[in-house]
Structure 1
Amino acid sequence: MSTIAIVGAGPGLGLAIARVFGQEGFAVALISRTQSRLDELARTLRDEGIEARGFAGDVMDRDSLAAALTAAKETFGSIDVLEFSPAPHAPVPGLEMVGALDLTVESMAPQLEFYLYSAIAAVREVLPEMLERESGTLLFTTGGGSISPNPMMGNINAASAALRNWAVNLNGALADSGVHAAYIAINLLIDSGPEKAAAAAIAPLYWTAHRDRQTAEYIYALDAD
């Protein structure tokens, strides 16, 4: 059985992606900070007939993240798809939004750790085995500010753009390896009301990115086809 690891798993988009892949026969490794919440999500998926388990790991603690991914590999045997989409759902000290005009090195550094460095750390845990198997998919998600920046979100947008740049470059470097990388920019507020903004409407795009491998970048917005 193939396995998807979802880093940043929560009850919105993460759960919706888990359902899409689970319905395609994947086992699901859920990774975020709080084990009790992961256990609840895993129970929901298992009740729907999807094999799932949660592994606590904090993207701001690289050792913790590595341990969670290692435990997932030991449990399921391999990770065939890594989906990386951490997003703070409540104010987190040190991750405050700072506008472009007020940006400092001190306010930029935590965002780079959150979005870019943790993604690099996660990939280092799964990519060697993917390259050995000559198969695998790496999917990265942030908001649309990486492409259409908002001055109020100066530090977040810059870190997201750095992740976008690396993900697209990574896909180029992986050409002919059997491993595909893709970046997905979600340029809307998830579950904000419109049907197209629902997590369940967005999640199938991840299966498309994994299956079709036609491009290294996708933009999801209300006015996009």
Structure 2
Amino acid sequence: MPVIAIVGAGPGLGIQIAHAFGAKGFKVALVARNAGKLDALVAELHAEGIEAAGFTGDIGKPETVAEAFTRIKERFGPVDVLEFSPADQALGATGVLEVTPETLQPQIDFYITGAIQAVKQVAPDMIAAKSGAILITTGGGSITPVPFLANINIAAAGLRNWTLNLHNELKPQGIYVAHIAISAWIGAGHPGAAPDVIARSYVELYETRAEPELHYIALGK
């Protein structure tokens, strides 16, 4: 059975991505900081007959991410699909005229450095196997920025750039890399913004591998 690792797993989009890939026969490895939250998510997946396990790891502490992926490989074997979609509301948003190095750097460390560290854990095995997929998620501001989220948008745009470069680098080696930008208030009532609906687009993107980028838009009522 193939393995998907979801970094930044939570009760919204993350668990629905787990359900969507689990329904396709994937074993699911969930990575997040909170062990209690992971236990609840794993129990939900087990109730649906999906083989899953949680692994604690903090994006802000690279050594814990490396340790989590070592445990994933010991439990499930090499990762076939990496999905990266963490969020940290505590970092805070800064408007475009108020951005400072002090408000920007934590966003860069969290999103860009975090993704780089996560990808480093799976890329060698994927390159050796000449197969695999890496799906990197950001907010829609990585493509269409909004002024009041300026510091987040800068980091997200940088992550998008790196992801698209990674796509160009790894595609000849049989590895699919895609960036997903979500312009949606997830779970806020719009039918297209329901987490399970968005999650299905991840599976479709993985299966078709048609494009290196998806801008998922669902903003209206």
Same fold (TM over 0.5): yes
Matches within 5 A, 1:54-69: 54-69=54-69
Match of 1:112 among 103, 108, 116: 108
Superimposed CA distance per residue, residues 7-59 of structure 1 (whole angstroms, 9 cap, x where no aligned partner): 00001100100001000000000001001110110011011000000001111
Contact 2:19–2:45 (8 Å) recurs in 1: yes
Name the CA distance, whole Å, in 2 between partners of 1:4 and 1:77: 11
Superimposed CA distance per residue, residues 58-80 of structure 1 (whole angstroms, 9 cap, x where no aligned partner): 11111111111111111101100
Secondary structure of the structure 2 residue equivalent to 1:79: coil
Q: CA deviation at 1:162?
A: 0.5
Secondary structure of the structure 1 residue equivalent to 2:207: helix
Secondary structure of the structure 1 residue equivalent to 2:173: coil
- What do you get for the CA RMSD once the two structures are aligned? 1.1
Runs of 4 or more consecutive aligned structure 1 residues displaced over 3 Å after TM superposition:
none
Secondary structure of the structure 2 residue equivalent to 1:55: strand
Q: Identity of paired residues, percent?
A: 48
Name the CA distance, whole Å, in 2 between partners of 1:59 and 1:223: 29
Please, which runs of 5 or more residues in structure 1 have no aligned partner? none
Contact 2:17–2:202 (8 Å) recurs in 1: yes
Q: CA deviation at 1:223?
A: 6.9
Name the CA distance, whole Å, in 2 between partners of 1:223 and 1:152: 17
Name the CA distance, whole Å, in 1 between partners of 2:150 and 2:190: 27
Match of 2:195 among 195, 199, 217: 199
Residue in structure 2 matched with residue 161 of structure 1 by the alignment: 157
Return the letter of the residue paired with 1:45: L
Return the letter of the residue paired with 2:204: T
Residue in structure 2 matched with residue 84 of structure 1 by the alignment: 84
Q: Count how many residue pairs are aligned between Structure 1 and Structure 2.
A: 220
TM-score, length of structure 1 as denominator length: 0.95
Residue in structure 1 matched with residue 43 of structure 2 by the alignment: 43
Secondary structure of the structure 2 residue equivalent to 1:175: helix
Contact 2:171–2:177 (8 Å) recurs in 1: no
Secondary structure of the structure 2 residue equivalent to 1:69: helix
Residue in structure 1 matched with residue 99 of structure 2 by the alignment: 103
Name the CA distance, whole Å, in 2 between partners of 1:221 and 1:82: 22
Q: CA deviation at 1:222?
A: 2.0
Structure 2 residue 203 is the aligned partner of structure 1 residue 210: no
Q: CA deviation at 1:175?
A: 2.3
